[in-house]
């Protein structure tokens, strides 16, 4: 078992003829993911690495029964692309694009509310279920099938954690990048119940960072609902207030959203918080009694 995506997931890539889109569609296909369609308006009939291109997501859904979209569309057109996927009946939308205006995302989030569709991202590395489906830009080979679920606001920091888990022989089930934007689709509290229910996942690694209160909300949820061990690292203990640290959402504003506040909330909820990112893997190992 796993969460969100598996070997039966059928993926359409929006923005497949662009540089990023074609490169990563090829990589995902090579990993073994069912890449069944691509969309670039006006380029129907073309192929990218044997993946047929359609003008609209609606056409792609009709012809290929794709159920998941992977989006590389540039920021000015990305809100439109997400809504197009939702309107076409795609159930899972994974948006990699970085730099979408926040107020565009405000409207998108509202429009998706209450509908039978899940958005992961934007500004995220995507989702991978090890050895089944890689739907995103993460390097596939660092992953090893195992017992740990990973959910994170960051990209390369997640690879760092995954690398440690794989090297220590623990391995991962599914890794979900929820992205570094202030307004996004899926949050920690949406992913945690999925890992809690997944029989294969024995422990969860949660990687947060400064800004907002998603980690505090997660702590509240974990305290009440999660029995599996959760191990967490929060980036940005040295980040100054009022400065945006790369990610649009990584900012301490009005004294709120500091790393120490988040760590405190998580520790109070029984989460094992590691201060040194180099020790994430070892902390999981200890938590699992291995």
Partner 1 sequence: MNVHEFQAKQLFAQFGVPVPRGKEVTSPEAATTWANELNTPVFVVKAQIHAGGRGKAGGVKITKDKAAVAGLAKELIGKTLITHQTGPKGRKVHRLLLEEGANIAKELYLSILVDRDTGWPTFIASTEGGMEIEEVAEKTPEKIIKEAIDPAVGFQGHNGRNVAFALGLQNMEPAVINPFVQMLGNLYRLFMEKHAALVEINPLIITKEKTLVALDGKVSFDDNGLFKHEDVQKMRDLNEEDPLEIEATANNLNYVKLDGNIGCMVNGAGLAMATMDVIKLAGSEPANFLDVGGGATKDTVAAGFRILLKDPNVKGIFINIFGGIVRCERIAHGVIEAAKEVKIAVPLVVRLQGTNADEGRKLLAESGLKLDVANDLWEAAQKIVKLTGKAV
188, 196 contact by CB (below 8 A): no
* Window 190-219: residues binding partner 1 (CB under 8 A): 207, 209-214, 217
Strand, coil or helix: what is 233?
strand
Give 246-258 as a DSSP string: SSTT---BTTBS-
**Looking at 99, 169, 193, 270, which residue binds partner 1 (CB under 8 A)?**
99
Using CB under 8 A as the binding rule, whether residue 182 contacts partner 1 is answered as yes
Q: Which is closer to partner 1, CB of 117 or CB of 142?
A: 142
Distance CA(126)–CA(75), nearest Å, equals: 17
Phi, psi (rounded to 5 degrees) for 21: -60, -45
Site string for partner 1, 157-176 (x = CB under 8 A): xxxx--x-------------
Smallest distance from partner 1 to CB 45, Å: 29
Instruction: Report the distance separating Cα 27 and Cα 19, nearest Å.
Output: 13
Cβ nearer to partner 1, comparing 24 with 29: 24
CB of 30 to partner 1, least distance (A): 12
Is 282 one of the catalytic residues? Answer: no
Is 62 among the residues that bind partner 1 (CB under 8 A)? Answer: no
Pick one of 2, 27, 40, 69: the residue that binds partner 1 (CB under 8 A).
27
DSSP 8-state secondary structure symbol assigned to residue 239: P
277 makes contact with partner 1 (CB under 8 A): yes
Does 282 engage in binding with partner 1 (CB under 8 A)?
A: no
Cα separation of 210 and 139, whole Å?
25
Interaction mask 104-123, partner 1, x per CB under 8 A: xxxx-xxx------------
For residue 105, the tally of other CB atoms under 10 A from its CB is 24
**Which among 154, 137, 163, 139 has a CA at the least distance from the CA of 188?**
154
Write down the catalytic residue from 24, 143, 247, 282: 247
Binding mask 243-262 for partner 1 (x = CB under 8 A): xxxxxxxx---xx---x---
> Of the listed pieces 34-42, 49-57, 100-108, 262-270, which binds partner 1 according to CB under 8 A?
100-108
What is the per-residue burial (b if ≥16 Cβ within 10 Å, else e) of 121-151? bbbbbbbbbbbbbbbbbbebebbbebbbbbb
Q: With contact defined as beta carbons under 8 Å apart, do 140 and 31 qualify? A: yes
CA separation for the pair 23, 43 (Å, rounded)? 17
Select 33 or 202, whichever has its Cβ closest to partner 1. 33
Choice between 52 and 126, CB closer to partner 1: 126
Question: Using CB under 8 A as the criterion, which residues of the chain lie in contact with partner 1 when the complex forms?
Answer: 23-24, 27, 75-76, 99-107, 109-111, 137-139, 141-142, 152-160, 163, 180, 182-183, 207, 209-214, 217, 233, 235-240, 242-250, 254-255, 259, 275-279
Give catalytic residues, as residue numbers: 247
């Amino acid at each position: 078992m796993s969460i969100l995506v598996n070997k039966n997931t059928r993926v359409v890539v929006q923005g497949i003829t662009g540089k990023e889109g074609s490169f990563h569609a090829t990589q995902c296909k090579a990993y073994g993911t069912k890449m069944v369609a691509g969309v670039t308006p006006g380029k129907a009939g073309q192929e990218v690495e044997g993946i047929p291109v359609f003008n609209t997501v609606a056409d792609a859904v009709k012809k290929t029964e794709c159920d998941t979209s992977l989006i590389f569309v540039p920021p000015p057109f990305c809100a439109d692309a997400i809504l197009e996927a939702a309107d076409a009946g795609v159930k899972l939308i994974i948006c990699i694009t970085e730099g979408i205006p926040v107020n565009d995302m405000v409207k998108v989030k509202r429009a998706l509310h209450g509908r039978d569709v899940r958005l992961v991202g934007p500004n995220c590395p995507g989702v991978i279920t090890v050895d089944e489906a890689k739907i995103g830009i993460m390097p596939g080979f660092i992953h090893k099938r195992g017992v740990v679920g990973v959910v994170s606001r960051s990209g390369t920091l997640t690879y760092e954690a995954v690398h440690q888990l794989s090297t220590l022989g623990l391995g991962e089930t599914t890794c979900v990048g929820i992205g570094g934007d202030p307004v996004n689709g899926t949050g920690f509290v949406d992913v945690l119940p999925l890992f809690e229910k997944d029989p294969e996942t024995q422990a969860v690694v949660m990687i947060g960072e400064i800004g907002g209160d998603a980690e505090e909300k997660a702590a509240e949820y974990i305290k009440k609902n999660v029995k599996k061990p959760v191990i967490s690292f929060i980036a940005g203990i040295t980040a100054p207030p009022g400065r945006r640290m790369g990610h649009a959402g990584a900012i301490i504003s009005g004294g709120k959203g500091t790393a120490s506040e988040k760590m405190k909330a998580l520790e109070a909820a029984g989460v094992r918080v590691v201060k040194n990112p180099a020790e994430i893997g070892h902390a999981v190992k200890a938590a699992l009694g291995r």
